[in-house]
Structure 1
Amino acid sequence: MTRFPFRALLLAGLLPLAAAAADYAPPERLDDGWAVADATAAGWNLQPFASAETSIADGTWKGVTSLVVAHRGALVYERYFNGGGRDQLNDTRSLTKSLTALLVGAAIDRGLVPDAQARVYAYFGDKRPFGHPDPRKDAITVEDLLTMSSLLECNDDNTFSSGNEERMYVTEDWIRFALDLPIKGFAPWESKPADSPHGRSFAYCTAGSFLLGALVERAVRQPLAAFSHAALEKPLGITAIRWNFAPDGTAMGGGGTRLRSRDLAKLGQMLGDDGLWQGKPVISKAWARAMLTVRAQAREDAEYGYQIWRFHFPRDGKDVPAWAMSGNGGNYVFIVPELDLVAVVTSTAYNQRFAHPQSQGIFRDVVLKALPAERN
């Protein structure tokens, strides 16, 4: 008798979608610190996962390379697609910004940076004088950069902006590029900080995130990658990571760091668990909570904390706020501390307009729909 693979039968429509539960297997327990759990035994609805696998396989959803879900501190779902794999170092692009914010917190925890109110320009005296000097620059704080709300004229969403990241990449000295940006003005149709929610006028600025990483390097007196290894990767059991660097060797704290999907989930789990991993502090509770506090209105449908987004998703008629490390191509780490839920979506749909809506849809229509009902 000819045998047909289960997946082929499912794609051909010869098996009901509900039968896909038979194809589920819990994530493999490895020596990487992750506990694992059986989603079936935990009450998860596996049908949305089966539907997602079908949509990825038939190309309805494009470029998705992994979906990893952790609930109550244990991995419950782990699948790889389109050439992705457990050992694949995913190019997460701007998701790196959240990693840089964690390293800012680690430096503050160690007393190497005073606090989020530290003045940025005080760390870069060697870069003076500037072509665009302005006394207001000396008042710019670490928090201003963390919240994408400094007065530097920098907006990646505006191709005419002096600070657009593409302009930085063609220069040799990225630090000077960022520091020497002019002070922004506000057109009549734009809200000034005093008139904006939370008192901050948001503008997405990769150059500012890069500057944060450079500041940490100077404060801790070692390369950002080395500090990251000691402060985050070693305590989390992350053994493979790849950083990008500026022409002068400064780590690119604004994007392009490559990590494995299970390790991305660790970052989310640790941040959502008040800085703890396996019961031990990696960053302070104070910093974890500071990062996951709304600081600015980024868009009509999203807020911003410290280098991390907050989106809103419907579930059972209720609003579910989810924090999200996010990068070009549809790369995400979703964190919902109230549900003890972390979900990683990696994708290579770089510069595609559908990429972010697609990954957010996977979280909304797959992960949240599959999630068991909350315990009373």
Structure 2
Amino acid sequence: MAGLLVMLAVPARAAVSPEDLVGLWGNETQMTQPVAGRLVLDLRGAAGEAHIGGITAPVSQSGDDVRVALAVGLGTFRGHWSADRARVDGFWVQPPSALRSAYATPLTLTRSQPGVWMGTVQPQAERLSQYLKIERGANGALRAFLRNPEANLTRERWMTVALDGDSVTFGDPGRPRWQLHASYDEETGQLQVNWQGIGVFAFTKRDRANAIGFYASTPQAGTPAWRAPLTLGDGWGTDAPAPSGFDTKQLDALLARVLQSDDAGTPQVQSLLIAHRGKLVVERYFHGFDADQPHDSRSSGKTFAPLLVGLAMAQSKAFTPSTPLRDVLPAYRDAFGSDPRKARITVANLMTMTSGLACDDGDDKSPGNEDAMQSQQAQADWYRYTLALPMLREPGGDKAVYCSAGINLLGAVVAKATGAWLPDFFRRTVGDPLQMRDYHINLMPSGDAYLAGGIYMRPRDMLKLGQLYLDGGRWHGQRIVDAAWVEASTKHHSAFTPDHAYGYGWHLHTMTVAGHAYREYAAEGNGGQFVIVVPELELVVGIQAGNYGDFATWYKLQDLVPTFVIPALRRAR
């Protein structure tokens, strides 16, 4: 009886009031990889060993190849001896996680003493930051939106807020069955938000000083001093905007537009870079990003695929753009089936998105839709999956249909022609020559690179893709790719709409400013990932943003160039 009285005496948990909830809430979760730190390759003695993080693994060698495979799920090193055996150049392959696929990150082991080589494993960081803004709407009812800079999980839709005791339910009027549940802890002042399938996250009240990912700048930006970007030893020469020909007042207006990002559904620019005449003149980062943080390229990374094709074609001489795909990939001939149209698909058809395959990323019911391919479990070989798709039309023609699986299939062409693992070929022909660093290449279940986008790369390095093409295939005077390939890649081969043409992995547009039409070509990706080249002005603009899945918002970000950047050059003249 006494125990019952004690139980009855426990006060009920207080109901949460609207005043408790109004404001900005935040949670940052850093998810670490199981293995990181110094990797030691110890080949002293008869049996070679590798050591990292208290783990020991055997070393296997075959010719110039060096491999270290840790226990399942912990990671792998794949490398090659240098000619003098002073180093091992390769990649650390981190295993897939609940949020991401496997990634390959460049790693070089250097000789520290006879028989011992060392390097530091720095896997891609996995950060999940969430900011929940709760306010009273015009009708007095609570409403909220959630901002997730890394993936835009809820697309920043306004949500309804319902209270029941200490429970809080967030609803999406556009998706009646979708709900997000939370509970308010009065003692700790925390809002415990339950993302089903992901985890429970403790949100705390925030302001500008401790919600860096929510706000574009901390502290609130004033009128900037437009100094030259820093020289970071990555190949970029720098200059201040004014000496380079820019009207800084127009750049002030550009910055003011970018900073207008506090409300739901506003453009979330995370980096803005401008190069003019080969020098980096503007470099700005927002929402907690900086120059050293690799950014998700999404489909802007597709443009690397035709670049690799051009490099492989020059190296092997085994094919041309007009070569039928069936002749390039003899190991996959059985996947082509009996439809004679499929045998007529060429390498160029993949690069111009005119393959005729049942592959349309804009159609949720298309069997070749990127999400359909990546989510299915029956076929781990995504090349074979793509080749087995039915045909909908004759390959070729001017009509482009957006097909990630087709661009990815170019990886099979490159691998066959070069005999190389795609990350190795990328590093040797693109990454190292362009002085890129700290990038992460996403891998397919087969373990080779996925070429339809998604490489994580520093914005400064992504901008080099545009500068390389603007300079006719050269970087600092060094020939990287043939000038003829650059010209072929940036000319009209097909079109999505009358005013949106496509080359070999480059989107082609015309920007009109003050009655003058400027031809431009761009690498473009979901969320607002752009590398925009305006040849007439010797201009390359890089934009990275976080409006993933919100096409209507992110696609308009390229309008910043004709609205602000080009006028800044024109007015200074």
Task: Tell me which residue corresponds to 1:286.
Answer: 484
Match of 1:63 among 268, 279, 293: 268
Secondary structure in structure 1 of the residue aligned to 2:334: coil
Aligned match of 1:161: 366
Larger helix proportion, structure 1 or 2? 1
CA contact (8 A) 1:315 1:368 kept: yes
Cα deviation digits, residues 219-246 of structure 1 (max 9, x gap): 2111111101011111111122111111
Instruction: Judge conservation of contact 1:214–1:251 (CA < 8 Å) in 2.
Output: no
How many Å separate the matches in 2 of 1:245 and 1:112?
Answer: 27
**1:120-166 per-position Cα deviation (integer Å, ceiling 9, x unaligned):** 12343333433853222222111010000012121111222221111
Q: Deviations over 1:287-306 (max 9, x none)?
A: 11110111112212211100
- Paired with 1:58 and 1:28, the residues of 2 have a C-alpha distance of 26
1:141 is aligned to 346
Which residue identity is paired with 1:168? M
Of 218, 232, 236, which aligns to 1:30?
232
Q: CA deviation at 1:47?
A: 2.3
Q: Distance in 2 between matches of 1:6 and 1:174?
A: 43
Q: Which has the higher contact order (CA 8 A, sep 6+)?
A: 1
List runs of 5+ in structure 2 lacking aligned partners. 1-216
Letter in 2 for 1:184: L
| Residues 214 and 250 in structure 1, CA contact (< 8 A), matched pair in contact too | no
The answer to whether the aligner puts 1:182 opposite 2:390 as a matched pair is yes
Of residues 275, 284, 289, the one that matches 2:473 is 275
Give the counterpart letter for 1:66 in structure 2: S
Pairs within 5 Å for 1:204-215? 204-215=402-413
Q: Which residue of 1 aligns with 2:21?
A: none
| Code of the aligned partner of 2:381 | D
| Per-residue deviation, 1:57 | 2.8
CA-to-aligned-CA distance 1:241-296 (integer Å, 9 cap, x gap): 11111111121000101111111111100111110111111101011111011111
Compared CA separation, residues 301 and 163, structure 1 to 2 (3 A): same
CA distance in 2, matches of 1:215, 1:57: 43
Change (3 A) 1:113 1:240: farther
Aligned to 1:76: 281
Q: Deviations over 1:78-103 (max 9, x none)?
A: 10001211011110111111011111
In structure 1, stretches of 5+ residues that fail to align are: 11-19, 187-191, 194-198
Whether the 8 Å CA contact 1:214–1:253 is kept in 2: the answer is no
127-136 or 176-185: bigger deviation? 127-136
Distance 1:122 1:36, change over 3 A: same
Q: Which amino acid in structure 2 is aligned with residue 266 of structure 1?
A: K
- Is the 1:273–1:337 Cα contact (8 Å) retained in structure 2? no
Where 2:335 maps in the other structure, the secondary structure is: coil
Mapped partners of 1:331, 1:183: distance in 2: 31
Aligned to 2:29: none
Larger Rg: 2
- Alpha-carbon contact 2:363-2:369 (below 8 Å) kept: yes
Q: Cα–Cα, structure 1 residues 131 and 336, in superposed 2: closer, same or farther, change >3 Å?
A: closer
> Secondary structure of 2:433's partner?
helix
Aligned to 2:418: 220
| Per-residue deviation, 1:112 | 4.8
Q: Shift of the alpha carbon at 1:178?
A: 0.5
Name 2:199's counterpart in structure 1.
none
Summarize the alignment of residues 99-114 of structure 1 with structure 2, pairs less than 5 Å apart.
Answer: 99-114=304-319
Q: For residues 114 and 185 of structure 1, what CA distance do their matches in structure 2 show?
A: 24
Contact 2:423 / 2:448 at 8 angstroms: preserved in 1?
Answer: no
Q: For 1:227 and 1:365, how far apart are their aligned partners in 2? A: 39
Counterparts of 1:1-376 in structure 2 under 5 Å? Answer: 8=220, 10=222, 20=223, 23-59=225-261, 61-130=266-335, 132-171=337-376, 172-185=380-393, 199-372=397-570
* Pair 126,102 (structure 1): closer, same or farther in 2 beyond 3 Å: same
Q: Structure 1 length normalisation: TM-score?
A: 0.87
2:267–2:557 Cα contact (<8 Å) kept? no
Q: What secondary structure is seen at the aligned counterpart in 1 of 2:316?
A: coil
**Corresponding residue number in structure 2 for 1:15:** none
Residue equivalent to 2:106 = none
Stretch moving more, 113-122 or 123-132: 123-132
Q: 1:244 to 1:41 in 2, by over 3 A?
A: same
2:247–2:572 CA contact under 8 A, matched in 1: no
Question: Separation in 2 of the partners of 1:131 and 1:324?
Answer: 32
User: What is the RMSD of the two structures over their aligned residues, measured on CA atoms?
Assistant: 2.2
Structure 2 CA distance for partners of 1:309 and 1:6, relative to 1, 3 Å: closer
TM-score, normalised on structure 2?
Answer: 0.58
CA contact (8 A) 1:42 1:372 kept: no
Structure 2 letter corresponding to 1:180: A
| Separation (CA, whole Å) in 2 of partners of 1:125 and 1:6 | 56
Partner of 1:189: none
Find the aligned partners of 1:337 and 1:309 in 2 and give their Cα distance: 14
Is the alpha carbon distance of 1:56 and 1:215 closer, same or farther for their aligned partners in structure 2, counting shifts above 3 Å? same
Seen in structure 2, the aligned counterparts of structure 1 residues 113 and 237 have a Cα distance that, compared at 3 Å, is: farther
Percent identical: 33
Tell me if structure 2 keeps the 8 A contact 1:132–1:181: no
Measured in 1, the distance between the counterparts of 2:533 and 2:295 equals 19
1:254 to 1:6, Cα distance in 2 relative to 1, 3 A: closer
Judge conservation of contact 2:439–2:457 (CA < 8 Å) in 1.
Answer: yes
